[in-house]
Each structure stands twice: as structure tokens, then as C-alpha cells.
């Protein structure tokens, strides 16, 4: 009997020792050792919840999301009332894209333990992901009430405020989150994004730089910094180029240049496989610019593969999908894995869309995924040594352009393309006819309306008696903090408050476009011009006053004006920008004439000719391919 008790004690000691050792290895990050020990424990005790839980966590951390779901489902059947296990299951389901299942698991956790903070936070985050902001706010407030010091809960609440246009509250809440967060890089990045959207570009840049100082691997801060500098008034071209060069140098992939695609069929006239990489195959400015090209591609000459970071799917996404020869979801794939998939797909020309924005993935280019790699619809150089070309045109990059870039430029006859505005509401008469005064306006983001822009606009208003300025971007100008900035500007410049009209509704497209009926003349901001907003203003009969800048991002509006035959509204200097706006404001007959004819002028321009546009892009692709076949770029 004594020997039996001694044997049982020995077994117990062995199990306890294994569990302690496995836990220690897990905490130290030795996941292989930890996994082996937890599996040995399960051999003797298949229902050991601690072992199952850790194996599920290891599976999730090592990219085996399906296995993690399977393990946590088993654990949940053994302990259905465990808030921890249900939350872990929700996390695994979310990571594998099973969002409805994740929501259900988090709710099960909260049913078991109503005040369970981790489930409240993660459920909030899931609703944020789905765009269900009302439910997200309910759970965010519950989590903050449960723990006012919880950085993750505060961060979620700040994101909700940001997405719903409560910008001042968003900045305040995200400052609190950053002060309390362990992950300062992510928290400061979130704060920087809110500051930028609110119009504080310098504050945003400072936040992103602090994020990177604390965590040089905070890639989101790095990308956001590349966006912020496009709005920065006083950055030199050399400084901006150097920033992009450093970005590219930090992301060099060893060995990428040795990939020479020696097995690839080098016939210059064969059908080519074109891959487009984007998160914007949806109702988004980039998506709307790209759709005419995809619709008019010559399918005898080109096979089209869309690599979609498809976090958001809508009717425009369905249209893209129907037009593609292949639609491949890239969610959950690492850059290296996706690059290898693209190579296996034998893509000949890979096009990266709007690389620094949203969830776009231009860094895949550094893996050398295709013989020819192109940056398209980005607003500055990618800085990536493996990016071969940057598509542009002669307006955006004239022969004497001072802008610097790491790619080779390929100039199209016209860069931008838009769907014909056939479904836009009618422009109506110029409002100045009935009002007796001219209304200027801008529907761009607050971050584009810096002090230099405001100064010129206020000079225009002062020189045009009784004129008004109408500002609109979603519901952002309904925010008291943003509105007060503009009220203070008017007050300090001696302009009456009633000459400023701030529109603060978050409208559907038709209602948004109809608001142009309140504007006689649109004023374009700088250095980051409007593209879609410029096109929409023109299509609604409002001429746009633009300023020629010294690089792509600051020449967009002037280029669009030139391409519809209104180059006289594109000014080479700030003084001329003011004079041009004032002169047009004093010419009511011309404003009225433009109102009646601009829609047709836009329709008949090169901006709305998808067939010709597709041919020019395809000619560019074929030229690049022939160059590669002859041993040129990309080789």
C-alpha cells in the first residue's frame, strides 16, 4: 500500500513539474518546448484545460488559426461557463475571419461573467471591425465603466468617437489611452491618426515620431508618418525624399534581387498576367478611379488578378470581383507568404495601389514578387528599391519636375480616370444668381486646410464683399473643436461670423453632391490637393481654383483643371491664386455659364473616357514588359 501511494505521489509530482515547466517555457517565448510539454500532459489527461488552453494560445500565436479554433471549441465543451475560454475562442474565431462566431463567443463569455473586461474590450473591437458603431459604443462604455484606466477600452472608445466624427472627444480619449498603454507605439499611432484627421498635422507627426522612437517596428506609425508629411507645409522636397529612402532601406528583403524569373516566358507579345494589390476594391476614391480601367481591360491581351485585402465588401467590390479573372483574398497572409503566392501565380506585372494608405501592402514589392512592379495612385515615391515604375502624367510630373523618387517615371497621357457622372444630381443654377453674393467652398478633409490655406481663403473673402465660405467634410465640422478653429480664424481676420457656413451632416453620396448647389466657386487646398473632390465639384458645375505645386500631390487639382480645359483657373503662385478667385467672383455671367456647361465639359474630357484610358495604361504595361524582356528594369 505504501508503495502505491508513493507511486501516485511521484506521478502527481511529474505532472505538476511538467505543467510548471511548460508554463515557464510559454512565458519565456519558447513555444516549441512549451507545446511539446503540454502535449505530453494531454497524453495522460486529455481533458486538462490548462494544457488545452495553452495549446490553443500557441496555435494562435504561430499562425495556425484553424487549429486554435478547434482546440478552444473542445475546451469550451469541457467548460462552457469559462469566460476565459469563451474569450479565447472568440479571439481565435476573429483571427480566422469568423466574425459572427467571435461575437457569439464573446457574448457567451459575458453571459457567464457579465463584467469580464477582456470580453467587453474584444467584443467592442469586433463591432468596430464590422462597422456596427452603435453596439461598439455600448460595450466600449461598459468596459470603460468597468475599468476607467484600461488603455484598450479607452482606445476603442476613442476610435468610436473618431469614426463618428466626434473628433475633439476622440483626441482627448486617445490621449488618455496613450498615457495608460503598455504598447506606447500603437497607442501613440492611434492618437496621431486622430490629431491628423482633426487638422493638427504637426501634432500627428510628433505622435508618430514618438511612437517610432519607442518602437522602431511600429509599422503603422511609419506608414502614417509617410501620409502626414504630404500635408506638411514647411517640409522640403529633400527631407521628404530622405524620409522615403529611409523607409525603403528599413524594409529591404535579403535575396530579393536574386529572383530573376529565369523560367518566365519572355515573349514580348504574349498575353500578360496583371496583378493588382489593394485594400480599396470597394466604394472608395481609389476604387472608383480604378474601376474604369478594370472594366475596359482587353481580356485577349491581359489576364486580371485582384489581390484583395478585403476587410470591407460592398456593391463596388462585387463589381470588381465579377470583372476579375481571379479574385484572391489576402487577409491573414503575411507579406512573405503572399509574395510567394504571387510568384506561383506567375504574375508578370504587379501593380500596387495607393501603397501608403489604408491596408494597402506595397512592402510586398520588396520580396520581388513579379518581374515588373508598379506604384499606382500613391502620392509620392514609395522609396522601395524593388518598385520599378511610378505611373504619372506630364501635368503631375513635367520634364523639369523637382520632385525626387526611387522609381522610374512612366507618364501616361492622362493619369486620373473617373466614371462618367451620369447619376449625379443636377447642378442647378449658380447660387450667386439668387443670393446676390458669391459662395466659395471646400469639401476636403480638415487636415488639408492648414494655416497657409486659411490665410489665402480669408484674403479672398476680404477682397470679395459679402461673399461666404462653405466648409464640409462628412460631419467633421459639426465638432465643436474643429468648428472653433475656423470661427477663431474668421474673428482674428476681422470677418463676420455669418460669412462662415459649416455643414456637419454625414450624407449619402447623392445628398453630399447636392450640397455643391450651395457653392459657386470651389477652393482647392494645398500642399495636398483634392482629386475626387475636384472632380465632383466640376461635375456639379463649380469651377475650382487650384495652385500648381512642386510635386505630384500638390499638382493634382491643377492637372485636373487643365485636362477639362480650365487651365486658366490653375495659378502658378499664391498671389495669382487669390487674384484668380477674386476675378471669377466678380464675373457672375461666367460663373453662370460654367454652371450650365461644366458637366458636359467634364463628360467630354479625357477624365471620363475609360476605353482610351485603358488602352494607354495597357500600352504602358506592354512597354514595361518589353523593357524587362530585353533586360531592363526589374531584371
Reply yes or no on whether the pLDDT at 11 is more than 70: no
Q: What is the pLDDT of residue 635?
A: 53
C-alpha span between 577 and 8 (Å, rounded): 89
Reply yes or no on whether the pLDDT at 7 is more than 50: no
Cβ–Cβ under 8 Å, residues 547 and 558: yes
Which domains does the chain carry? 1-114 (1.25.40.10), 267-417+613-629 (3.40.50.11380), 431-608 (3.40.50.2000)
Task: Label residues 60-93 b or e (16+ Cβ within 10 Å = b).
Answer: beeebbebbbebbbbbbeebeebbbbbbbbbbbb
User: Where is average pLDDT lowest: 20-29, 415-424, 442-451, 529-538?
Assistant: 20-29
Cβ–Cβ under 8 Å, residues 98 and 125: no
Reply yes or no on whether the pLDDT at 361 is more than 80: yes
Long-range contacts of 283-289 (CB under 8 A, 24+ apart): 283/314, 283/315, 283/316, 284/316, 284/358, 285/531, 285/532, 286/353, 286/354, 286/357, 286/377, 287/316, 287/317, 287/320, 288/316, 288/418, 288/419, 288/532, 289/377, 289/416, 289/417, 289/418, 289/531, 289/532
Three-class DSSP category at 181: coil
Cβ–Cβ under 8 Å, residues 411 and 441: no
- Kindly report the three-state secondary structure assignment for every residue of 75-110: HHHHCCCCHHHHHHHHHHHHHCCCHHHHHHHHHHHH
| Percentage of the chain exceeding pLDDT 70 | 97
Cα torsion 145, 149, 152, 155: sign: positive
Strand extents, DSSP E, 309-356: 326-329, 349-353
Distant-in-sequence, close-in-space partners of 551: CB < 8 Å, separation ≥ 6: 237, 380, 401, 402, 403, 527
What's the pLDDT tens digit per position in 33-72?
888 887 888 888 888 888 889 988 998 888 888 999 999 9
In whole angstroms, how far apart are CA 286 and each of 277, 291, 546? 12, 9, 21
Q: Could you give the strand order of the β-sheet that contains 372-376, starting from the edge strand earlier in sequence?
A: 326-329, 302-308, 272-278, 349-353, 372-376, 389-393, 408-412
Q: How many CB atoms lie within 10 A of CB 635?
A: 14
Average pLDDT over residues 73-82: 93
pTM of the model: 0.89
Q: What is the pLDDT of residue 33?
A: 86
Q: Give residue for cell 456593391.
A: 315
In whole angstroms, how far apart are CA 582 and each of 103, 429, 471, 541, 568? 56, 20, 18, 18, 13
What mean pLDDT is reported for the chain? 93
User: Where is average pLDDT lowest: 3-12, 71-80, 103-112, 562-571?
Assistant: 3-12
Average pLDDT over residues 551-569: 97
What is the rounded radius of gyration, in angstroms, for the C-alpha atoms of the chain?
28
DSSP output for 356-424: TSTT--GGGGGG--SSEEEEES-SS----TT--EEEEETTTS-TT-----SSEEEEES--------TTS
Q: pLDDT-derived band of residue 568, with 50, 70 and 90 as boundaries?
A: very high
Reply yes or no on whether the pLDDT at 509 is more than 70: yes
C-alpha span between 570 and 585 (Å, rounded): 15
Q: What angle do CA 342, 346, 352 make, to 5 degrees?
A: 45
C-alpha span between 196 and 286 (Å, rounded): 20
What's the pLDDT tens digit per position in 455-503?
999 999 999 999 999 999 999 999 999 999 999 999 999 999 999 999 9
- Kindly report the three-state secondary structure assignment for every residue of 3-56: HHHHHHHHHHHHHHHHHHHHHHHHHHCCHHHHHHHHHHHHHHCCCCHHHHHHHH
Q: Give residue for cell 486646410.
A: 449
Q: What is the pLDDT of residue 202?
A: 96
Q: What is the pLDDT of residue 12?
A: 45
Q: How many CA atoms lie within 13 A of 303 on its CB side?
A: 12
Q: What is the pLDDT of residue 400?
A: 94
Q: How many CA atoms lie within 13 A of 410 on its CB side?
A: 23
C-alpha span between 215 and 225 (Å, rounded): 14
C-alpha span between 153 and 307 (Å, rounded): 33
Cβ–Cβ under 8 Å, residues 285 and 532: yes
Q: What burial class does residue 262 get, using C-beta atoms within 10 Å of its C-beta: 0-12 exposed, 13-18 middle, 19+ buried?
A: exposed
All three cell numbers of 372: 515588373
What's the pLDDT tens digit per position in 113-140?
999 999 999 999 999 989 999 999 999 9
What's the pLDDT tens digit per position in 219-247?
999 999 999 999 999 999 999 999 999 99
Reply yes or no on whether the pLDDT at 109 is more than 90: yes
Q: How many CA atoms lie within 13 A of 520 on its CB side?
A: 26
| Percentage of the chain exceeding pLDDT 90 | 83
Q: pLDDT-derived band of residue 190, with 50, 70 and 90 as boundaries?
A: very high
Q: Which residues share a beta bridge with 441? A: 470, 522
Long-range contacts of 408-411 (CB under 8 A, 24+ apart): 408/633, 410/374, 410/620, 410/623, 410/624
Residue with the bigger pLDDT between 470 and 284: it is 470
Q: What is the pLDDT of residue 281?
A: 95
C-alpha span between 447 and 434 (Å, rounded): 32
In whole angstroms, how far apart are CA 365 and each of 121, 259, 380, 566? 35, 12, 16, 38
What's the pLDDT tens digit per position in 177-188?
999 999 899 999
All three cell numbers of 353: 495601389
Cβ–Cβ under 8 Å, residues 256 and 368: yes
3-state helix, strand, coil in the chain (%, to 5): 60, 10, 30
Reply yes or no on whether the pLDDT at 549 is more than 70: yes
Q: What is the pLDDT of residue 13?
A: 55
Q: For 342, list phi and psi in degrees, rounded to 5.
A: -65, -40
Reply yes or no on whether the pLDDT at 427 is more than 60: yes
Q: How many CA atoms lie within 13 A of 153 on its CB side?
A: 19
Reply yes or no on whether the pLDDT at 78 is more than 60: yes
All three cell numbers of 352: 500596387
Average pLDDT over residues 430-453: 97
Average pLDDT over residues 69-86: 94
Reply yes or no on whether the pLDDT at 1 is more than 60: no
Q: pLDDT-derived band of residue 2, with 50, 70 and 90 as boundaries?
A: very low
Amino acid at each position: 500500500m505504501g508503495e502505491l501511494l508513493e507511486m501516485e505521489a511521484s506521478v502527481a509530482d511529474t505532472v505538476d513539474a511538467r505543467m510548471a515547466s511548460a508554463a515557464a517555457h510559454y512565458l519565456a517565448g519558447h513555444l516549441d518546448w512549451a507545446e511539446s510539454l503540454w502535449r505530453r500532459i494531454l497524453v495522460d489527461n486529455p481533458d486538462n484545460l490548462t494544457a488545452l488552453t495553452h495549446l490553443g494560445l500557441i496555435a494562435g500565436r504561430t499562425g495556425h488559426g484553424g487549429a486554435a479554433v478547434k482546440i478552444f471549441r473542445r475546451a469550451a465543451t469541457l467548460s462552457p461557463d469559462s469566460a476565459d475560454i469563451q474569450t479565447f475562442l472568440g479571439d481565435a474565431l476573429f483571427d480566422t475571419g469568423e466574425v459572427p462566431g467571435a461575437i457569439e463567443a464573446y457574448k457567451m463569455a459575458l453571459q457567464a461573467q457579465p463584467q469580464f473586461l477582456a470580453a467587453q474590450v474584444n467584443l467592442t473591437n469586433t463591432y468596430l471591425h464590422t462597422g456596427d458603431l452603435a453596439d461598439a459604443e455600448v460595450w466600449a462604455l461598459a468596459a470603460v465603466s468597468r475599468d476607467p484606466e484600461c488603455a484598450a477600452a479607452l482606445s476603442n472608445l476613442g476610435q468610436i468617437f473618431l469614426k463618428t466624427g466626434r473628433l475633439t472627444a476622440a483626441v482627448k480619449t486617445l490621449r488618455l489611452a496613450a498615457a495608460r498603454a503598455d504598447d506606447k507605439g500603437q497607442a501613440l499611432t492611434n492618437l496621431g491618426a486622430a490629431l491628423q484627421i482633426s487638422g493638427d498635422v504637426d501634432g500627428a507627426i510628433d505622435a508618430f515620431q514618438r511612437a517610432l522612437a519607442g518602437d522602431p517596428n511600429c509599422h503603422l506609425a511609419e506608414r502614417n508618418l509617410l501620409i502626414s508629411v504630404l500635408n506638411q507645409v514647411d517640409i522640403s522636397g529633400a527631407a521628404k525624399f530622405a524620409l522615403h529612402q529611409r523607409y525603403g532601406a528599413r524594409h529591404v528583403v535579403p535575396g530579393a534581387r536574386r529572383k530573376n524569373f529565369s523560367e518566365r516566358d519572355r515573349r514580348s507579345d504574349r498575353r500578360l498576367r496583371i496583378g493588382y494589390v489593394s485594400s480599396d476594391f470597394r466604394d472608395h476614391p481609389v476604387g472608383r478611379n480604378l474601376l474604369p480601367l478594370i472594366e475596359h481591360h482587353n481580356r485577349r491581351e491581359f489576364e486580371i488578378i485582384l489581390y484583395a485585402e478585403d476587410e470591407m465588401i460592398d456593391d463596388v467590390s462585387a463589381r470588381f470581383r465579377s470583372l476579375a479573372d481571379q479574385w484572391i483574398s489576402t487577409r491573414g497572409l503575411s507579406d512573405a507568404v503572399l509574395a510567394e503566392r504571387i510568384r506561383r501565380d506567375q504574375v508578370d506585372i504587379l501593380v500596387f495601389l495607393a501603397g501608403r494608405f489604408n491596408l494597402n501592402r506595397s512592402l510586398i514589392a520588396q520580396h520581388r514578387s513579379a518581374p515588373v512592379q508598379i506604384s499606382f495612385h500613391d502620392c509620392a515615391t514609395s522609396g522601395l528599391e524593388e518598385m520599378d515604375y511610378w505611373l504619372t502624367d506630364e501635368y503631375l510630373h513635367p520634364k523639369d519636375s523637382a520632385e525626387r523618387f526611387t522609381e522610374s517615371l512612366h507618364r501616361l497621357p492622362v493619369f486620373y480616370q473617373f466614371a462618367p457622372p451620369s447619376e449625379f444630381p443636377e447642378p442647378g443654377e449658380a447660387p450667386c444668381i439668387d443670393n446676390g453674393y458669391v459662395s466659395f467652398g471646400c469639401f476636403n478633409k480638415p487636415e488639408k486646410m492648414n494655416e497657409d490655406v486659411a490665410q489665402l481663403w480669408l484674403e479672398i473673402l476680404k477682397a470679395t464683399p459679402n461673399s461666404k465660405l462653405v466648409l464640409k467634410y462628412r460631419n467633421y465640422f459639426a465638432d465643436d473643436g474643429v468648428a472653433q478653429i475656423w470661427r477663431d480664424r474668421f474673428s482674428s481676420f476681422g470677418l463676420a461670423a455669418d460669412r462662415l457656413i459649416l455643414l456637419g451632416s454625414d450624407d449619402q453620396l447623392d445628398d453630399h453632391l447636392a450640397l455643391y448647389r450651395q457653392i459657386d466657386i470651389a477652393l482647392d487646398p494645398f500642399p495636398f490637393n483634392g482629386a475626387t473632390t475636384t472632380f465632383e465639384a466640376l461635375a456639379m458645375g463649380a469651377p475650382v481654383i487650384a495652385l500648381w505645386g512642386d510635386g505630384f500631390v500638390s499638382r493634382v487639382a491643377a492637372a485636373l483643371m487643365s485636362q477639362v480645359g480650365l487651365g486658366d483657373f490653375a495659378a502658378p503662385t499664391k498671389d495669382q491664386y487669390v487674384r484668380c478667385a477674386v476675378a471669377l467672383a466678380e464675373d457672375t455671367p461666367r460663373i453662370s455659364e460654367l454652371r450650365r456647361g461644366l458637366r458636359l465639359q467634364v463628360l467630354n474630357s479625357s477624365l471620363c473616357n475609360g476605353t482610351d484610358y485603358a488602352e494607354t495604361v495597357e500600352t504602358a504595361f506592354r512597354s514595361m514588359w518589353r523593357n524587362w524582356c530585353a533586360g531592363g528594369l526589374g531584371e
